[in-house]
Amino acid sequence: MTLRQAGMMASLITTRMHILGWTVSRVWQLFQETDETNKRDTPGCMRKTTARNECILKRLCTGKKFQSVATINHLWNEHTSIKITRQRLHAMGYYNRIARRKLMISVVNRTRRIRWCTIVRTWTQDHWSRIVFSDESRFNIGFNEGRICVWRQNGEAIDPGNIAQVRRQGSSSVMVWGCITYEGVGELVVLDGTSMLWVISKFWSRICCNQ
């Protein structure tokens, strides 16, 4: 402003200060209109939600974690758009993520698994070479499970309340059984009304890789 007030042309100021010409013109025009070089901060739009409203929104989000933002916005009923509801949730640290899937494990089975891990943690290679791991699994083919989203904060992916639990059931499915040993993978057997004892007795020589 000192150079411009001294009568120096804008083009010379641009060359000397290494700035754009439109910047010099804009600042000079602002100085002539307001006698300032910085644009004043404008108040902007009035905030449509209060701290109390946002507290209600947070309770809705934690209680309806698996609902869409449109549903939460409808339940909030503060006459705000879905965009504003999403912005408020993001400001609180909540983002709509794909929920982790995990099989339901009872407390009894958890205790048994921990006890078993404690026993075998000192096993040697010779111990493990004589073990056969087998399991059956059901694959749903009659419907699309799809993905489930949940409202959560960072670091809460594996919290029990944020996990979409999967049940081993379905209207149309196929059950298979297989095993793995120290020597390799065994044969995959389709269980079609067949008992597990019959499968093990019939396929034992093959699933154990001719051990």
Does residue 68 have a pLDDT over 50? yes
Provide the b/e sequence for 89-109 (b: ≥16 CB within 10 Å): beebebebeebeeeeeeeeee
pLDDT per position as a tens digit, 7-56: 777 777 777 777 777 777 877 777 777 766 666 555 666 777 888 889 99
Per-residue pLDDT, 44: 60
Mean pLDDT of 67-88: 88
- The structure's pTM equals 0.43
Specify the range with the lowest mean pLDDT, choosing from 82-86, 132-136, 205-209: 205-209
- Where residue 193 falls (left for φ over 0; alpha for ψ -120 to 50; beta otherwise) is left
Grouping H, G, I as helix, E, B as strand and the rest as coil, residue 191 is strand
Residue 71's alpha-carbon distances to 68, 82, 102, 130, in angstroms, are 5, 9, 25, 55
Q: Mean pLDDT, the chain, as a whole number?
A: 79
Q: What pLDDT, on a 0 to 100 scale, did the predictor assign at position 170?
A: 47
- How far is Cα 65 from Cα 80, in angstroms, rounded to an integer? 20
Beta strands in 69-196 (DSSP E): 95-98, 101-103, 133-140, 149-152, 164-166, 173-180, 189-191
| pLDDT bracket for residue 123 (50, 70, 90) | very high
Which of these, 189, 193, 190, 191, lies nearest to 204 by C-alpha position? 189
Q: What is the pLDDT of residue 90?
A: 92
Best mean pLDDT range from 35-44, 116-125, 201-210 = 116-125
% of the chain surpassing 90 pLDDT: 17
- Whole-number pLDDT of residue 161: 84
Range with lowest mean pLDDT among 36-40, 57-61, 183-187, 190-194: 36-40
Q: What's the pLDDT at 28?
A: 75
